[in-house]
Amino acid sequence: MKFYSTNDPEHRVDTKEAVFRGLPADNGLYMPERIDPLPDRFFAELPEMSFAEIGFRVSRRLLGDEIPDADLRTIVEETLNFPAPVVKLDDRRYVLELFHGPSLAFKDFGARFMSRLMHYYNDDPQPLTILVATSGDTGGAVAAGFYDTPGIEVVILYPSGKVSELQEKQLTTLGKNIHALEVDGSFDDCQALVKQAFLDVDLRQRLRLSSANSINISRLIPQSFYYFEAYKQLGTIGDPVVFAVPSGNFGNITAGLIARQLGLPVHHFVAATNRNDVVPRYLRAGQYAIAPSVATLSNAMDVGAPSNFARMTNLYGHVIGKDHPDSETHRRMREEISGYAFDDGATEDAVREVKDRFGYTIDPHGAVGYLALNAYQKEHPRTRGVILETAHPSKFLPDMQRILSQDIAVPDRLKRLETLPKEATPMDTDYISFRKWLLSRK
């Protein structure tokens, strides 16, 4: 399989280069040259298929035949060694729990798959440096996924004071090959530093760099697996299925759109955001205008310039990602995606409502998804909605306990982090300072 840049369809690379480069030199994003629907046989066998078998067949479709079956199966089986259960709230609303991995967040799927794929391909004696910006959960998942991987160093940039205490501990307490930079700025500032490093030709000649954000196609591919797994658990009998996706950088919903192009019969996608509502505003009015991110209760979604928007529009026929999408792209996206945004007050009310009505503890990000699904189903009641619950509620402990006025159980693998010392290097938003720090470690 070849992968092309959303900024230049003629620029094509193989899987290995797409995985290690992360970002094309033209500042686009890599996409598979083909997304062919899976055969009818796949969907006939889906009800009896294991999660790992789903992941193997989907990844084989998207990666092509560069990796032998036995090796790809090993990569997928090591990635999917924990479940993604669907929990029923009522006949119309379900929750897909994506927090059963080591860092208790959905990003474990992508980080584990990527780390194993990179380890498989990494035959260069020069150390590989992974750069990743995080607004919350990405950092912890990448730290856990790549921890102590030979030949790979990980640098995680996170916005100071804008991630929860437990999220911060997940990426600042491991040591060894995991290095945390506490940036005096927003997530967008962190992401801008990472992107600038990838576009720095001189730096890339001196360091082997790659990315673990959802800008890297190898992190996006495994996120498509659990859409198939959720659909399998719901079954085909009943009203059409919609997915409500809490959205920040929009990698998760992009993976869902890829699953749909592979043939998964998803009726509609609901993009759920907090006050950082760049994409819902685009879906309403057709004008895409990035904005500085604002801090909210659902911090992992505090993104004002979502990278994966270029992939989303590309999937709907927009050819050159750096140009503004045309009206036909907007029309086609609106047919399959609805966008809703909610403030912190509504989010807190939703956390309490889900607990009171269903006895289920939902985290702030899932609560935004719940609100968006309710809004969509008011106009489309004959649907079954799946809310992606992207992180365990205990990762937002102070807020959850304040909102619900009760204790929240903390899994042991998080609780043990509370007493570990934080190790992070302060960093400003100046690229030259960041560049010097990277080179000082060479």
Q: What is the spatial distance between Cα 63 and Cα 65, in angstroms, rounded to a whole number?
A: 7
Which parts of 22-152 fold into alpha helices (H)? 40-45, 51-63, 69-79, 107-121, 137-146
Sign of CA dihedral 360, 366, 367, 371: negative
Tell me the C-alpha to C-alpha distance, in Å, between residue 73 and each of 56, 69, 80, 92, 107: 6, 6, 10, 35, 20
Q: Give the per-residue pLDDT at 430.
A: 96
- Predicted pLDDT of residue 404: 97
**Residue 414: pLDDT band with limits 50, 70, 90:** confident
d(CA 12, CA 34): 12
* Mean pLDDT of the chain, nearest integer: 93
Helix, coil or strand: residue 339: strand
Q: Is the pLDDT at 349 greater than 80, yes or no?
A: yes
Judge contact between 166 and 394, C-beta under 8 A.
Answer: yes
- Among all chains, which residue has been given the structure tokens 């043990």? 416
pLDDT digit string (tens) for 279-321?
A: 999 999 999 999 988 989 998 899 998 989 999 999 998 877 6
**pLDDT confidence bin for 416, thresholds 50/70/90:** confident
For residues 246 and 95, give the distance between their C-alpha atoms in angstroms, rounded to a whole number.
Answer: 12
Q: How far apart are CA 164 and CA 135, in angstroms?
A: 10
Residue 211 pLDDT > 90, yes or no?
Answer: no
Which helix (H) or strand (E) covers residue 257, if one does?
Answer: helix 251-261
Sheet hosting strand 337-341, strand order edge to edge:
86-88, 93-97, 384-389, 241-246, 268-273, 337-341
DSSP-H helix ranges across 64-106: 69-79
Q: How many CB atoms lie within 10 A of CB 40?
A: 9
The radius of gyration of the chain from alpha carbons, rounded to an integer in Å, stands at 20
- When pLDDT is averaged across residues 51-59 and rounded to a whole number, the result is 98
Rounded (10°) CA dihedral 170, 362, 336, 195: -20
> Which residues, 6 or more positions from 167, have their beta carbon under 8 angstroms from its beta carbon?
136, 137, 139, 140, 299, 395
Written as six digits, the tokens of 320 are: 């050159």
Mean pLDDT of 19-47: 93
The Cα–Cα gap between 43 and 45 comes to 5
pLDDT bin (cut points 50, 70, 90) of residue 165 is confident
Per-residue pLDDT tens digits for 217-242: 998 999 999 999 999 999 988 999 99
Is residue 152 within 8 Å of residue 226, measured between CB atoms?
no
Residue 323 has pLDDT above 80, yes or no: no
| List of domains in the chain | 83-442 (3.40.50.1100)
The tokens of 240 are what?
């059409």
Select from 110, 162, 100, 104 the least CA-distant residue to 132.
Answer: 110
Chain segment 176-189, per-residue pLDDT in tens: 999 999 999 998 89
Is residue 390 classed as helix, strand or coil in its secondary structure? coil
DSSP 395: G
Between CA 180 and CA 186 the distance in angstroms is 15
The conformation of residue 258, written as its DSSP 8-state character, comes to H
- Decide if pLDDT at 2 tops 90: yes
Percent of the chain with pLDDT over 70: 99
Give the tens place of pLDDT for each residue, 133-142. Answer: 987 678 888 8
pLDDT for position 25:
83
